[in-house]
Amino acid sequence: MSDATTTDLYEVTMTLSYLREGLTRPATFSLFVRDVPADRGFLVAAGLEPVLDYLSGFRVDADDVEVFAAALDRPSEDAEPLLGLAFTGDVRAVPEGRVVLAGEPLLEVTAPLPQAQLVESYVLNQINHQTTIASKCARCVMAADGHPVVDFSLRRTHGTEAGYQAARLGAMVGFAGTSNVSAAYAEGPAVGTMAHSYIEAFGTEEQAFRAFARTHPGPVTFLVDTYDTERGVATAGRVLKDLGLGPGCAVRLDSGDLGTLAVRSRRILDGAGLNEVRIVAGGGLDEFAVDRLVRSGAPIDRYAVGTKAGVSADAPYLDSAYKLVEYDGRPVMKLSSAKVTAPGREQVFRRPGYADIIGLLDEPPPPGGEPLLKTVMRRGRRAQSGNRRSRLDDARSRFADDLAALPDDARRIASPVAPKAVLSQPLTELADRVRHHIETDVLAGTR
């Protein structure tokens, strides 16, 4: 059984019907987010890399046919038209790391209709989840205002794959490291300290700190709030001085009033002559808490974010859609109330100040407009070069550039205002023509 079976049942039923009815001409589906969630001034495009991996290897094999038949509760031969179905289409997409707005297509798939339909659920799953998490992590980086941010989310994410993705996406938007060892090996540096259980396993905090330093003689970070935070800081300082381990070392605060405890910890460390020892804070942090701590002037050097960032707790999903916009050269659109879609293959033109225009693929760019969607797959094969690490570095650079150009109102942590894209005149006119055709011709026979 392959990843081809990671789909919804109705994708299978529709695909079988398309094949039976001979509806196999090229179709274009557009993936976009209808609205930016509350407390978001922008989104960060993410998830494209795993989507391209999936599409480039997509093929329905004999085991998949058996799975589809079982799901349909029908004989295997009824699902055999799916055997050998592979993705041979093209993909145009906004590269990972770019800042995007509501309504803008993040990705367009053009392929024979059965192929483009059957891959919908997987493609939506990856883009939806990863854009959600990348956007949350980006706001944590912004809130930290130059202080390093690290990922501690693995134990709370919705599965280990999601934990890996959170670490990768954090690295993409500027995180300084992750506690997730497998993700760090592939995507960036590993960071971590110790748990309260480690401290509790020893007779005293001092014994625990000294034992840890014997095993890890390099720069160490001591968790100081297992019992009494201020005493823990004093003990950590004494051990660090005794062992000559001050430079590069840190103490970690994991609970309580982090701002107040950071001030007291800094005073204790400085009083012991350990001005170079840093303070790391974690424990239920997200961009809102980090922003408050930074604005309060708390002497915290590094922030560890976990649960709330790894699951995007305040906005855990996007209202995304994957809609047919063209079939066999014929533009189509949906007219459902509050869910109207624009017809035709599209392009997004980024203009200064994020005055974005959504237009048709073949229309010329407006003055100062930069096309965002790039061809990333042709005839089922990647159009990109470079290895995974280089592609992540490229995404990181794109994000940094886009973030720097984002309007101040959209960058606010509290009550941001998201820029809004508008439709071009040619796209508006096409939508009017298609709507008129639907209302006068397609719906005429149903009245």
- Contact at 8 Å (CB) between 302 and 176? yes
Cβ distance 230 to 260 under 8 Å? Answer: no
Q: Whose CA is closest to 82, among 189, 4, 6?
A: 4
First to last CA, the chain: 46
CATH topology of domain 3-133+315-446: nicotinate phosphoribosyltransferase (3.20.140)
Q: Residue 360: what residue type?
A: L
Q: Looking at residue 447, what is its pLDDT?
A: 55
| In the predicted structure, residue 338 carries a pLDDT above the cut 80 | no
Mean pLDDT for 87-113 is 98
**Number of helices (H) and strands (E), helices first, in the chain?**
17, 19
Indicate the pLDDT class of residue 372, thresholds 50, 70 and 90: very high
Q: Could you report the per-residue pLDDT of 20-64, keeping only the tens digit for each?
A: 999 999 999 999 999 999 999 999 999 999 999 999 999 999 999
Has domain 139-310 been given CATH number 3.20.20.70?
yes
SS3 418: coil
User: 3-state SS of the chain: helix, strand, coil percent to 5?
Assistant: 45, 15, 35
Whole-number Å distance between alpha carbons of 25 and 233:
68
Alpha carbon distance 144, 302 (integer Å): 8
R_g of the chain computed on alpha carbons: 26
Q: What is the DSSP string of 43-60?
A: EE---HHHHHHHHHT-B-
Question: Is the separation of the CB atoms in 27 and 112 below 8 Å?
Answer: yes
What does 308-354 look like in DSSP terms, one character per residue? HHHTTTTS----EEEEEEEETTEE-----TT-----S-EEEEE-GGG
Could you tell me the residue ranges of all domains in the chain? 3-133+315-446, 139-310
For the segment 239-289, what is each residue's pLDDT rounded down to a tens digit? 999 999 978 999 999 999 999 999 999 999 999 999 999 999 999 999 999
- 71 confidence band (pLDDT: 50, 70, 90): very high
* pLDDT tens for each residue of 306-318: 999 999 999 999 9
The pLDDT tens digits of the residues spanning 147-203 come to 999 999 999 999 999 999 999 999 999 999 999 999 999 887 999 989 999 999 999
